[in-house]
Chain A
Amino acid sequence: MSKTFGNKKTIFLMVFPGIALILFVIFIPILISLYYGFTNYSGFAGSYSWVGLSNYIRIFTKDPQFWNCLKLAFQQAVIRVIIVDGVCIVMAIAIDYMAGRWESLFRVVFFIPCTISVVVWGKLFVQVFNPSYGLINKLLNGVGLSSLARNWLSDPNTAVWSVHFMIIWIAFGWSFLYYYAGVKNISGDLYEAAMIDGCSRFKMYTRITIPLLRPAMEVCITLDVIASLKQMEIIMLTTNGGPGYQTRFLANYIYQLAFDNNQYGYGNAVSVIFVIVCILTMVLLRRLFAVINKD
């Protein structure tokens, strides 16, 4: 057995195409990034020089924007895990409970928003948040709360939260799918046994369903955190990072540095730190999951 599963030739043939692709398209560029992170390369043609650690020193000592981006990402991650995962678990259970026609209808419907290009979402939100024609202000005016109506995306008090709201709004599809699959994967025998023991429905969900969704949760939370760090397009399409750089996420910042600011070297240093932050977060999450699973 171990001979078959350890056959070097088989392993090589299995692994080579994929690893070659990943090394070539993703890993080598990152190594190049690592190199440019130590230079003042503009991204243009022309000469550049080795600047040692000064890019990194700049990130840590005088780049408030970088830290703002990080703060945004982690804010987003926390809100997302709480709201998206919470809502999706409830929805998955609710839809499973329906059974029959309704179940198959909603199951299909919930994923559709994920198939729509983010360009559409961006345009929709710009419209919804529009101070004079947007849905939100119209509703507020309609119920006599005109004092709350505002320019949601550019008012410094609401811009960040409006952006978090938008991103979360479009994030349900995939998580729902995972949780729904998770709920469906729970064997009916367990419920029956619980029923015989006189468990209430609510107890059944908290004692059986949710604990058994743990693997799905791990996947979803991991993906949520990564997605929070990598937000980009929806920002470009709506606030463009404003007011100031309040709503600019890391990926937007890196893009701006590399392609608008002619600071390719510095942009690469930022992305190296970005990758390190990602890795650290992932490691931490895994530790956290391991601790929880042990209990």
Chain B
Amino acid sequence: MKRSTRLLALMLSMLFVLLLASGCGGGTSGSEATSQASAATGEPAQNDTPASDDVVTITVFSPNVDRSSERGLVEEMLANEYMAEHPNVRIVSETLENESYKPKLKAYIASNSLPDIFYIWDQPTWLDPVVEAGQVEPLDPAYLTDQDFTEASWDGVMYGEECYGLPNQSEFYIMYYNKEIFADNNLEIPTSFEDLLAVSKTLRDNGIQPCAMSGKEQWLGNNLIWNMMIQLDPEGFPESREITANRTGRYADYAPFVDAQSRFMELVDAGFFHDNWLNADNSEMYNMFASAQTAMMYFAGSYGFITSNLPEGMEDKVGTFLFPASANDPGDNGDMCAQYVTCYSIAKGAPQEAFDYLYWMMEKEHYTKYCWDHAGQLTAQDVAEYVSDADKAGLKGDILDMSNSVNIAGGLIWSETLNSTFVSAYTDLLSTMWSGMIGVDDMIAQLDTVADECYEEIQNG
């Protein structure tokens, strides 16, 4: 009896404490803990003093969770610098890793409560509906006319005359290789697809897994297929977008599409990718390459990503080359798209300070310079003037060279031009085909059916 009374008393007192605690959460006290947290994250302290009238708080929402390296670090540094110059502005960042960033972004959109500045994909499946719902403020790129944005990077963010986002990234995909493994096996950098298959065979014969790849999510493989499709048809490849977006034809009748899919399967069948590639995520892929378990890796040209966790001495062993076209292809190795798929946008009703900060942040000498210096990544702006001689000599310079040899700037990958149902169905089909359950022709036939259905659905509103 006594014990249970005590239990009840304990429960009630806990409830009381909770009530108090929730008061704290509301922002009245707990300043000690808050400043502790900000010390750990380098994030500006919030809530510890009641906001006075002349301080404006801007929230920045991005998927760059790691605030101590790569783009997270850049966002952090620029925010701190800006706040130092503008004591009346407080910049607060909220981050979630990619998988949870998307549902959270949707929750914000559904409740019409987007954070002032947010990171979003400028694809029909993301930015378009938000713009249509009137939840994004138009921006004035005139502020940035002399900031050397790549012309093509504006495509995704322009809606008629209005601009709804500032592009922040240039994505292109290259091959990384381990110079030591190549030397040990007397291999040269492959200059054609046929060479690549030969290299792959030699490596397999010597018991080495040729190329690290992540196939758990299918977008990276799809990217490679896109790459090959352009090499197969450097003039006509936009047709694949037309076939997808407007169903102007069938994939089965567009030879470069069929050939690119078959070529990818040729790699799969040749054992080009590492054994577990179908279940590998990006970190597994990276670790396979970084720990010298594979001789190559296909991934985005990002120095920061590549060097973030390399074991000592490994950086000097990493070389790069462009994914090679076949000797008979009309296109060459440089025929691929640099994509500009992400941007920062501003939510409807955000304070003027958010605009000021974003325009300031996206100035070349801030965003692009910092991304290059601290994250080893390329933005949608020209980076040339910030590249030092030391940069040029190393891997960083190699990656930059690769980016300069990319022939085609901009353009959405074909599969993103219809809707997200289509994307899901397509990625499922890819995974089915890659695991050997269906052949290329079957896959493409089913894809045509899915595309027809999705297209019809859109037409019917």
Contact = CB atoms under 8 A, between A and B. Distances in A.
A260 B109 CA distance: 14
Contacts of B133: 44-46
Contacts of B112: 45
A242 interface: yes
Interface in B102-126: 102-103, 106, 109-110, 112, 125
Given A126-B279, A156-B437, A243 B421 contact: no
A261 interface: yes
A43 interface: yes
A231 interface: no
A65 B434 CA distance: 18
A260 B436 CA distance: 25
Interface string B125-147: 10001101101000000000000
Contacts of B284: 126
A127 to B, nearest CB: 10
Given A44-B110, A156-B435, A244 B209 contact: no
B31 interface: no
A117 B279 CA distance: 20
A42 interface: yes
Contact of A245 (B132, B275, B276, B428): B428
Given A42-B129, A45-B110, A262-B419, A132 B274 contact: yes
A153 B281 CA distance: 13
B106 A244 contact: no
B431 interface: yes
Contacts of B405: none
A159 B432 CA distance: 12
Given A44-B109, A45-B130, A151-B275, A262 B420 contact: yes
Contact of A240 (B109, B132, B217, B434): B217
A243 B110 contact: no
Interface in A119-141: 126, 129-132
B279 A153 contact: yes
B423 to A, nearest CB: 8
B424 interface: yes
Contacts of A256: 424
Interface string B415-444: 000011101100011011011110000000
B461 A49 contact: yes
B218 to A, nearest CB: 8
Contact of B424 (A42, A151, A154, A261): A261
Nearest to B102: A259
Contacts of A240: 216-217
Contacts of A154: 215, 278-279, 435
A2 to B, nearest CB: 26
A262 B421 contact: yes
A129 B279 CA distance: 10
Contact of A45 (B135, B217, B276): B135
Interface in A129-185: 129-132, 151, 153-156, 159
Contact of B279 (A45, A46, A151, A261): A151
A43 B279 contact: no
B292 to A, nearest CB: 14
Contacts of B102: 259-260
A75 B423 CA distance: 28
A238 interface: yes
Nearest to B277: A154
Contact of B130 (A44, A131, A153, A239): A44
A261 B450 CA distance: 14
B279 A260 contact: no
B435 A260 contact: no
A39 interface: no
B133 to A, nearest CB: 3
Nearest to A244: B432
Nearest to A133: B276
A243 B434 contact: yes
B421 A263 contact: yes
B216 A242 contact: yes
A130 to B, nearest CB: 5
Contacts of A153: 278-279
A243 B129 contact: no
A241 B435 CA distance: 13
Interface string B258-284: 000000000000000011101100001
Given A44-B133, A155-B435, A156-B437, A243 B424 contact: no
Contacts of A239: 216, 279
A242 B435 contact: yes
Contact of B106 (A242, A243, A259): A259
Contacts of A243: 278, 431-432, 434-435, 437
A91 B106 CA distance: 47
A243 B215 CA distance: 10
A19 B193 CA distance: 65
A43 B276 contact: no
A244 B431 contact: yes
B276 A132 contact: yes
Contacts of A242: 216, 278-279, 428, 431-432, 435
A245 B421 CA distance: 14
Contacts of A238: 279
Interface centre among A239, A241, A262 (most CB of B within 10 A): A262
B8 to A, nearest CB: 14
A42 B278 CA distance: 30
B275 A45 contact: no
A92 B154 CA distance: 66
A46 B129 contact: yes
A259 B130 contact: no
A140 to B, nearest CB: 14
Interface of A: 42-46, 49, 65, 126, 129-132, 151, 153-156, 159, 238-245, 256, 259-263
Given A43-B106, A259-B103, 6 more contacts: A44-B129, A45-B109, A131-B276, A243-B431, A260-B420, A261-B424
7 contacts: A45-B112, A132-B275, A132-B276, A151-B275, A155-B435, A243-B435, A263-B420
Q: Across chains A and B, which 5 residue pairs bring their CB atoms closest together, nearest first?
A: A45-B133, A243-B435, A244-B432, A154-B278, A242-B431
